[in-house]
Structures are given as C-alpha cells and as structure tokens.
Chains A and B, each alone.
Chain A
C-alpha cells in the first residue's frame, strides 16, 4: 500500500540563496555529500526561529497541522545540526510546496494585485497609484486567527475582569480575584466550539 500523499505546504517567502558552504579547516575541503534541506523545512525554521511564531501559529501559516509542522521543523534542525557538525554543504531545494503571497485590493480602480516581494510593503496601487489599497480578506482571515491566538485573554463571566491568558493553562483554572469564581476564554461562548483556523 502506498503511503498517504502529503498535502502542499505554503511557503510565503522562498530563500534568497540556494545553499551554504563551509569554509576553513581541512574537512571543508573534502567533498562530502551535501545535506539537502527542503523548502518547507527552510520555511518552518524561518517562521519559528526568525519570525518567532509558535508551532501552532506557524502551522496555520503553512497550511498544515501542528504535528506535521513540528515534524518538518524537527527534521530541519536535525539536518542543519548534521551539516554543522560534519562540515557538509547545505543545499535548499525541492519539497512539496507552493509559493504564496497576499492579495491586495485597490478601491480606486477596482483591481486586485499581489505582492511577490514580501520585503517591500505595498503602499500604493501599482495600476492607478492611489493609496486606497487594503489587504484582501482571503489571507487576512488566517492572519486574524493568528493574531487572536497571541492576544488571548481570560475573562470573568460575572464581573468582566480580563487578565492575560497563559498558554498551556486552561482559563477555567484561573480564579477571578474579585468574584472568586472560575474564568473563561474571552470571545468564546461555548467551550469546545472553538474556531481552529486550520484549513
């Protein structure tokens, strides 16, 4: 039986280079087989260790499940560690990915456009030059779930007091200091009916 096919991983910004070479020392001169890092592993490392997202946020951004993301990330670190220790070249190539960029909408000329160069932010419409541009909601919906995950708050159902939510500690274990009752997550009426934001 063939294994289950992998779903495509979203890569927002492709790496600017194709690989790394070791230098100095005797082993750098030997032609050891290179370590091949896939695009999705590069992206996982970028999201986690460069952009400082946690695994759940990064998995939403890449369009995979959290456990899958953690596996990709672990594999990236293992490969990089091997390349460092064994003085091997690193090449970034391949992988089951698709490249993506955000859509923008201009209300001046009713056009949609994307921004393939993520480093430069969009301010004016490339067609009519108007400043009436905004990010299109398709991707901002994903971003919203990511942002609300960061700004989660626990709220007291009786007095409405809000305290910052600590990841890993369920809100119903927090006790409201004023009313002395269990708190709940802000913005959630029914527990367990949570919008996951994973597509």
Chain B
C-alpha cells in the first residue's frame, strides 16, 4: 500500500507540509518494500488548480491514502470518487520519519 505524505523537504528529517496542493515535496511511502520516494511537487507555485493537479499526479502513482495538514475544498469529492483515503493530521510539526514510524507500528500490530 502506498501512502503519500506532504513534505517540506526531501529528507526523512523534513517536517510535514501543512498544505496539500502547494506543498514542496510528496514523500511516497511504500509499505511493502518500506521504501520512500521523494517527488518534487510541480504545482508548488501554481496559480490555480494546484490541488486537483496534485491529486491527478498522485493517482497516477497508485497512492491509496494521503496524509497532510489540510486539504482544499475541491479535493474531498475528487478523492472520494477515486477511493483514496485522506488523513488530516491535527498536530503540526511532525517529521516524515515520525509519521512513517507510526504507519509501521500500525501495520505491525
């Protein structure tokens, strides 16, 4: 299962980005191979439709859930129709490595 996490940098120590569409990087974590792929977000500085384009990009990567701080208005119906789960993390400032650790503990149980 692939999980996308919005990130401010391309290292495991980077902090999660609270914006979805205009985040700097997507960290795509593959729970089978335990590998992380960092994908620079091409819509980082987009004028409009950053969110919907980002969804399309992640859907192509077969991501099945997305972790971010907040999502725009148009995103939820779009992700619902694609059956992608969204997780909104309430506490800001979490590092990518911490989130991946939480996901690992979750599946290890």
Contact = CB atoms under 8 A, between A and B. Distances in A.
Contact of B88 (A14, A113, A115): A113
A135 to B, nearest CB: 15
Nearest to A115: B85
B81 A109 contact: no
Contacts of B84: 116
A127 B89 contact: yes
Contact of B87 (A99, A127, A129): A127
A99 B94 CA distance: 30
A64 to B, nearest CB: 16
Contacts of A126: 65, 85, 87, 106
A116 B99 CA distance: 21
Contact of A101 (B80, B87, B105, B106): B80
Interface residues of B, number: 24
- Name the prevailing secondary structure of the A interface residues: loop
Contacts of A129: 102, 105-107, 109
A125 B85 contact: no
A117 interface: yes
A99 B77 contact: yes
Interface string A129-147: 1000000000000000000
B91 interface: yes
Given A109-B89, A112-B87, A115-B85, A128 B106 contact: yes
A111 B76 CA distance: 16
Interface in B60-109: 65, 67, 76-77, 79-91, 99, 102-103, 105-107, 109
Nearest to B108: A129
Contacts of B77: 98-100
A127 B85 contact: no
Contact of B80 (A113, A114, A127): A114
Contacts of B81: 14, 99
Interface in B16-68: 65, 67
Contacts of A100: 76-77, 80
Nearest to B78: A99
B80 A99 contact: yes
A101 B80 CA distance: 7
A112 B76 contact: no
A124 interface: yes
Interface of B: 65, 67, 76-77, 79-91, 99, 102-103, 105-107, 109
